[in-house]
Structure formats: structure tokens, C-alpha cells
Amino acid sequence: MLMLVTPTAPPSSSPDLDLEKASQAMAQACQNDPICSSFVGMLDNATWAPLVASGVTIVLILVLAFVVRNITHRIITRVVNRAASSGSIAHRFRKGAAPDGIDVLLHERRKQRAETMGSVLKHVASIVILGTAVLTVLDRLTIPIAPLLTSVGILGVAIGFGAQELVKDFIAGMFMLLEDQYGVGDVIDAGAAVGTVEAVTLRVTRLRDADGRVWYVRNGTITRVGNESQGWSRAYVDVPVPYDSDVASVRELLEGVAEKIWADTELRESKIVEEPQVVGVEQLSDSSLVFRISAKTLPSAQAEVSRELRLRVKSALDSAGIALVGSA
């Protein structure tokens, strides 16, 4: 006699069973945690106590993470403010004091660099602290984090290989900021472009050249930088006079021009760092003698000082009846 056997479907887990297993897992994890187990004891070891204690522990973990994050940000801000308000650099100059303008300018450079580094450190601290808190919460919820960490590691390696140029740009930007190679307002030669720095980030540097063209230069592609605005600059003016001119008289005339410029209070306080010097005869030919006047100036002020020197030299030579030969 044949008997028909109807196949039965395998038993499926019900939501109540899954919830019960999750509750048991959380209760087991709570027992291994002294803080969570203390909350369970405070709740008289009730059946629902592990769930409530786990929830309270998770909230405490998140609150603690945000508190630590805020404290870290405050410490970074304090360090940044201290770095941005470091002492005067007047002692670097020969006369013992520098114009107030150079201190103000370098203070702004320090402030910009410190604020940029502070922003980077704050982002790194937030990622580390909050990332650790999230992983701790997932572990508290009995969610296995080992596969997650493995996946993140593999993803990081893949991104590292696929974005090598981006990583190179960021690393170059970090060292550029730490070494204070240039800042906003500096006139630099970055190889690919020459111009005034308008913005500096960890990835790119934005320049504007003399024609008004804006250049975006990736930090990783900059192999050398010529900074015309760091610390101080130097203005040169060459004065060609006839070959038969009296050297002592011309030198005395030019030294008088240098003394008058140094005596100009407005120029001394806003543009010139040290008294201009008459170097002497810089070039000699069969038709002319070329004298040179040199002046140490504030960063990027050399062009203005050179123009002022030329005007005063021209006026002095005209008064003395000495003609210029060729062009300086």
C-alpha cells in the first residue's frame, strides 16, 4: 500500500526567537562589563534589566565620546592660539628693531598656519574618537565588528592604491604648512606658475599671476618653491653715470639720497627695514659707471621702494647736473 508523504518546510526562525537570542547575547555581554552589570544590580536583576542597562551604557559611551571630543578640541584651540601669538621677530634685524608692519604680517602668517593645522587636528581627533565610540556601541549591540574592520582595511588599501596622487597632495600640503614654506599673500614661484598666493589647502594652492590669471597647483606637483615675500625683501637700484664722473662726488650724492629716504618716517615705518646702502661701483664700462643702491624692505615692498629710490635719485642727479647713461 502506497503512502503519500507531503514534504514539510524547514522550520523558520520567528522574530520572537531572534529577539530572544539578541536579548540573551546582550545580557551575556552585559555580565562581562562591570559598568553594565552594576546597572543590572541596581535594577534588582530583573529580566529586562540587561536591556535597559545596555541602553544606558551605550548612552554613556556616546556622551563620554562627545565630552572627550570637546575637551580635545579645546586643547587644540588653546595650543593653536598660543602658536599664533608667539613673540616678536624684531631681534632678527640688524638695527635691533623692525617696523611694526613686519610683526603684524608675520603674525598673520603664523595665525593662518596655526588655524589650518588646528582644523586638521580637530578633524582627525573627531574621526578617531567618534569612530572608536561607534565601534564600541556596535560591540555592545553584539554586532560583530571584526568583519567590519577587515572590510574597512581592505577598502582603505584599495583607496590608497587608487588615490595615490591625492594622498601625495595631502602629505605635501601637511609638510608645507608645518614648515611654513609660504602663506596667503606671498609672491611665489611654484614652477608651474608665478603669482600671489590667494588660498592654501592641504590639496591645492591657488595663485593669481600678474595678468590676473588664477592657477590651481596641486601640492604634490610642487618640487621647489621660490618665495619672494618671506621675512624680508631687497630692493636694488642701478644708477649709470658717465665714465668721467667723479666717483666720490656721485657716491656722496647717492648716500645723501639714502639718508633722506631713511629719515622719511612714513617709509621707515611701513616699507623699509634698514637704512639703504650705497654698494659702490657695480659695473664698469668704457662709457659708464654703474652705482648700486640696496635697501632691505618688508616682504613684497621692494618694487615700491625701488620706484621711490629712482625718483629721488633722478631729482638729485638733475640738481647736481649729472646725466644718466643708458637705462638702469
**Lowest mean pLDDT: which of 25-29, 49-53, 95-99?**
95-99
pTM value is 0.54
Domain count along the chain? 3
Task: Please choose, from the candidates 254, 273, 269, the residue with its C-alpha nearest in 3D space to the C-alpha of residue 317.
Answer: 254
In a domain, 7, yes or no: no
Same domain, 151 and 46: yes
In a domain, 251, yes or no: yes
Task: Please choose, from the candidates 257, 322, 267, 266, the residue with its C-alpha nearest in 3D space to the C-alpha of residue 292.
Answer: 257
pLDDT value of residue 323? 86
Same domain, 305 and 276: yes
pLDDT value of residue 311? 92
**Lowest mean pLDDT: which of 20-34, 110-124, 131-145, 239-253?**
20-34
182 contacts: CB under 8 Å, gap ≥ 6 = 176, 188, 197, 200, 205, 225, 227, 229, 230
- In terms of average pLDDT, the best of 32-36, 88-92, 182-186 is 182-186
pLDDT value of residue 25? 62
114 contacts: CB under 8 Å, gap ≥ 6 = 80, 81, 83, 84
pLDDT-derived band at 240, boundaries 50, 70, 90 = very high
In tens, the pLDDT along 178-204 reads: 787 887 778 888 888 898 888 888 888
In tens, the pLDDT along 128-171 reads: 999 888 888 887 777 777 777 787 778 777 777 777 888 888 88
Same domain, 84 and 197: no
The three three-digit cell numbers of residue 38, written as one number: 552594576
pLDDT value of residue 52? 67
Averaged pLDDT for residues 260-267: 87
Cα separation of 125 and 131, whole Å?
10
In a domain, 69, yes or no: yes
Q: Per-residue pLDDT for 174 more than 90? A: no
Averaged pLDDT for residues 295-316: 88
Task: Provide the domain limits for residue 192.
Answer: 181-227
Cα separation of 28 and 30, whole Å?
5
When the pLDDT of each residue in the chain is averaged and rounded to a whole number, the result is 78
Task: Please choose, from the candidates 124, 129, 84, 127, the residue with its C-alpha nearest in 3D space to the C-alpha of residue 104.
Answer: 84
Cα separation of 98 and 245, whole Å?
36
In a domain, 174, yes or no: no
Percent pLDDT > 70 in the chain is 74
In a domain, 115, yes or no: yes
Q: Are strands 204-208 and 194-200 parallel, antiparallel or unpaired?
A: antiparallel
